[in-house]
Every structure is written in structure tokens, then in C-alpha cells.
């Protein structure tokens, strides 16, 4: 069978070097088509899946992680991390923003929190304290305004500080000092402040000099705008960033009860602000160094108490040794029996060195897991450059620390051998990178 099809074809010839007499000619001709054959081919059509906000396509890590990976000695870990330097990267609860991202942004500020969320932190921290009029705000300490804000530069507010600025006295060797507390000022006055990088110059003779105390391994590049937040404002921001929340109830620097507010009322007020904002208990990891606070939540706010975090500071007890259970009071079993589900010691308490100077789990870490406790730890990348052993956070393994990339080695041991469920970091891009490379569960 043959088919005749009339095709009208217009051909335009554009010839280089032709003159204006080039013409367009329309040609009509018969085209004979032999018996047509229908061919059905299977075509692979890509399935487009929308990526939830805050996961792969929304995470921005920057170049620091490559800087760290490149410093690692050749090893299985380095090979693994090199293979995933291009991602995909996504948000996980393993990555916790410690006060936001304070390696480069003023801590506990809107800008710091947004940066941490952009780096894939699935959980953000507001340290909770209170003002003179008992309003809850985000500050690491009730009395750190002189080092974390510009309060001393605002004359009428500086006059309200517990201890006014005193210049350094070189002759006597006395350093510059001041103490300004949230409990010295009202919420309205607190709102006048701007956050800055935490630090003070002990050799200062003027307020201006005192405020310029940023460590040389941090930066003031993003300190021009530090927006302070109340606790309720932090909740609203975290909800908009689609992250979970880990508030820490800070110890008061004033006598409790304060103006009729007892410690229990203080602990309850913090939880009430989450309930008022409609935040599910599963999205909140309330923390405290005060074991009684944790027990209060366990016994009075069961849903929130189920994942309350005991920040373990038993290292301050004389004779404490993370490798000697006889020095721990209460025991891990007793903590578990009291309803504690999550324990959070500093990095160094979870690890030690074996005879070959390899980083391995401490007896503390083993006992916590044996008692059924989940573990969170703090704080990666807070020590600055690690070329001299890492300081306080790395004290149990300092003999094996001489390189910034050792933070990744430690992180690998914490994740694979200790089995921590989350790590606080001053630069959450690092913990996000590691979690993504290792295929950890995305945050939901």
C-alpha cells in the first residue's frame, strides 16, 4: 500500500557572500511513503520529586568542610568524605546549632540562627534566662551582656549594670572588668541592645577597647547587625525555619525565688511558651545542668520530659574520672531510674586514647549506653585551631590532636563507636556534612 502526501516546503537559503538577488522559492511536490510502520519505544521519564524545604537543595555548607577534609591523612575516613564532597547535603537532627553558628555570627541572634539552619542544623539552641521583669530571653548566661552585646556603649543602660566598666590597671596587673545581667534591665531595655561576638579585651582602658575582644580565629565580619531575641521570638523563628528546638534553662545569677518566681515556676514558664506557640513536645529537647529541672519536667510535663536532656557537669566534682564509675554520682542506672532518657556531657568525657593513641569510647560512654541512655555531646569547633591539642574540649585526647581535621576523626568515633544521637557545633556545616556523607536519617 502506498500513500501520497503533498508537502509544501519553503526553503530559505542564507548564503554567505550572496547579493540582494537571493530569492525564496516555494516548491510543492509529491512524496510517496511506503507502508508506514508504527514503532512503540519505551522511554524512561524522570520522576520529579519535590525536595522539602531545609533538605538537600536548601542546605549551604560553604568551603570549610573541604578545608578540613583536605587536611586529613590518607585513610578510609578521608576516602569516604572525599567521595561525597559534592553532596547531596541535607538537614539532620544529628547536626545541632550551638547558640546558632557562633564561629562567625554573634551567638543567640537571629542572624546566627538563620545561618545555622542554612547549614542544615536540624535542631537550634536558645539558652533561656530572664530579665528584671521576668521575661524569658535567649542569652548563654544571665550575666554575659557586657561581652555579648553593646550594652556598655549605651550610657543609660551601662549605668544599670551590676558592676560598671572598670579599666585595666597595668601597674597593678588588674584586668579590665564589668558585669551586666539580663536581670539588671527590663525587656523593653533588652530590646535596645545589639549582639556582638562574645569577647572582651582585658587590657582595655576604655569601653570601646573593651568591646573589641573577638578571638582572632573568629570574625567581626557579620557583627554589624546582631538581632537579639526573646524566647518566644526564637520559637517563632525556629518554626519558620522548620527546625526542632533545644532550649537550655540557665542557672539564675540572682537568688531564687526571684520576685515571687521559684525555680519550678521558671522551669514551667519555659515549657508553657512552647505550648502556647503550639509546638509539639517531640520537637523540643529541653536541657538543664540542674538535674532537678530535668526531673521536674519528667514528673510534671511527661511529653516534654520524655526527651529532656541532662547536661552533665559532674566533671566539676573533685575526683571525677570518666573512666572510673566509682567517681560518678548518681550512677547511670540511677539517672535512668529517675526518668532521664538523654544525657549530654562535653566531648572529652566520651572518649579516651588506647595504647596506640587511637581515639576510643570512654567507660563513661559505655556505661551510658548500657543504661539505655541516649547521648548528645558538646561542642565541636568551639576550641579554635587544634594545632596545640584542642584545649578543654579535647583534654582527654590532647596527645592525639594536632590538626583541625582531627575534629572529623573525633566526630567519626562519636558517631560510629560511641553512638551519639547529636552533636552541638559552633559551625553546623561540619556536622551536617558528616551526617549527610554517612547517610544519616534526614530531619523531619
> What pLDDT does residue 57 have?
57
Report whether pLDDT(359) > 70: yes
Report whether pLDDT(39) > 60: no
Q: Write out pLDDT tens, residues 320-345.
A: 999 999 999 999 999 999 999 999 99
**How sure is the predictor about 28, in pLDDT bands with cuts at 50, 70 and 90?**
very low
Please count the residues of the chain.
444
> What pLDDT does residue 56 have?
53
Q: CA–CA separation, 120 vs 243, rounded Å?
A: 9
Q: CA–CA separation, 278 vs 18, rounded Å?
A: 76
Q: Write out pLDDT tens, residues 166-182.
A: 999 999 999 999 999 99
Q: Where are the domains of the chain?
A: 56-125+231-437, 127-228
Report whether pLDDT(228) > 50: yes
Mean pLDDT, residues 394-413 taken together: 97
- The DSSP annotation for 362-419 comes to -HHHHHHHHTT-EEEEEEET-S---TT--GGGGGGGGGG--STTHHHHHHHHIIIII-
Contact 284, 247 (CB under 8 A): yes
Looking at every residue in the chain, the average pLDDT score rounds to 90
**How sure is the predictor about 58, in pLDDT bands with cuts at 50, 70 and 90?**
confident
- Contact partners, residue 137, CB within 8 Å, separation at least 6: 128, 129, 130, 131, 182, 187, 190, 228, 229, 230, 231
Q: Write out pLDDT tens, residues 129-163.
A: 999 999 999 999 999 999 999 999 999 999 999 99
The C-alpha angle with vertex 420 and arms to 419 and 425, in degrees rounded to 5, equals 140
Report whether pLDDT(298) > 70: yes
Q: Is the pTM of this model over 0.85?
A: yes
Mean pLDDT, residues 184-195 taken together: 98
Mean pLDDT, residues 56-69 taken together: 89
Percent above pLDDT 90 for the chain? 86
**CA distances to 232, 273, 365 from 278, in Å:** 11, 9, 35
The CATH fold of domain 56-125+231-437: TIM Barrel (3.20.20)
Q: H or E segment at 423?
A: strand 422-425
399: left (phi over 0), alpha (psi -120 to 50) or beta: alpha
> What pLDDT does residue 276 have?
98
Amino acid at each position: 500500500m502506498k500513500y501520497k502526501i503533498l508537502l509544501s516546503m519553503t526553503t530559505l537559503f542564507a548564503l554567505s557572500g550572496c547579493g540582494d538577488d537571493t530569492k525564496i522559492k516555494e516548491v510543492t511536490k509529491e512524496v510517496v511513503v511506503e507502508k508506514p510502520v508504527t514503532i512503540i519505544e519505551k522511554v524512561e521519564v524522570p520522576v520529579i520529586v519535590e525536595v522539602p524545604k531545609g533538605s538537600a537543595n536548601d542546605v549551604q555548607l560553604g568551603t570549610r568542610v573541604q578545608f578540613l577534609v583536605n587536611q586529613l591523612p590518607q585513610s578510609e575516613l578521608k576516602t569516604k568524605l572525599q567521595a561525597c564532597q559534592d553532596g547531596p547535603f541535607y538537614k539532620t537532627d544529628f547536626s545541632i546549632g550551638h547558640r546558632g553558628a557562633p564561629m562567625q555570627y554573634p551567638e543567640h541572634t537571629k542572624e546566627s540562627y538563620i545561618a545555622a539552619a542554612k547549614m542544615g542544623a536540624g535542631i537550634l539552641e536558645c539558652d533561656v534566662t530572664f530579665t528584671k521583669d521576668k521575661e524569658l530571653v535567649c542569652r548563654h548566661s544571665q550575666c554575659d551582656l557586657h561581652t555579648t552585646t553593646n550594652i556598655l556603649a549605651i550610657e543609660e543602660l551601662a549605668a544599670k549594670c551590676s558592676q560598671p566598666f572598670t579599666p585595666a590597671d597595668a601597674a597593678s596587673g588588674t584586668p579590665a572588668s564589668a558585669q551586666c545581667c539580663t536581670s539588671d534591665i527590663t525587656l523593653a531595655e533588652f530590646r535596645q541592645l545589639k549582639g556582638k561576638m562574645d569577647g572582651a579585651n582585658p587590657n582595655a582602658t576604655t569601653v570601646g577597647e573593651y568591646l573589641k575582644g573577638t578571638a582572632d580565629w573568629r570574625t567581626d565580619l557579620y557583627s554589624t547587625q546582631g538581632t537579639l531575641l526573646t524566647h518566644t521570638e526564637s520559637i517563632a523563628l525556629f518554626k519558620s525555619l522548620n527546625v526542632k528546638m533545644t532550649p537550655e534553662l540557665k542557672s539564675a545569677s540572682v537568688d531564687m525565688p526571684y520576685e515571687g518566681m521559684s525555680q519550678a515556676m521558671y522551669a514551667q514558664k519555659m515549657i508553657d511558651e512552647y505550648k502556647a506557640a503550639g509546638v509539639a513536645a517531640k520537637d523540643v529537647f529541653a536541657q538543664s545542668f540542674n538535674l532537678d529541672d530535668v526531673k521536674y519536667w519528667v514528673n510534671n510535663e511527661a511529653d516534654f520530659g520524655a526527651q529532656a536532656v541532662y547536661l552533665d557537669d559532674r566533671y566539676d566534682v573533685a575526683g571525677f574520672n570518666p573512666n572510673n564509675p566509682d567517681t560518678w554520682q548518681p550512677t547511670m542506672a540511677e539517672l535512668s531510674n529517675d526518668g532521664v532518657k538523654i544525657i549530654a556531657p562535653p566531648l572529652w568525657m566520651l572518649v579516651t586514647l588506647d595504647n596506640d593513641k587511637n581515639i576510643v569510647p570512654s567507660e563513661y560512654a559505655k556505661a551510658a549506653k548500657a543504661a539505655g541512655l541516649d547521648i548528645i555531646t558538646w561542642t565541636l569547633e568551639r576550641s579554635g585551631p587544634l594545632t596545640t591539642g584542642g584545649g578543654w574540649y579535647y583534654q582527654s585526647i590532647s596527645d592525639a590532636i594536632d590538626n583541625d581535621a582531627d575534629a572529623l576523626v573525633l566526630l567519626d568515633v562519636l558517631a560510629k563507636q560511641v553512638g551519639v544521637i547529636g552533636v552541638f557545633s559552633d559551625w553546623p556545616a561540619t556536622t551536617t556534612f558528616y551526617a549527610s556523607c554517612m547517610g544519616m536519617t534526614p530531619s523531619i
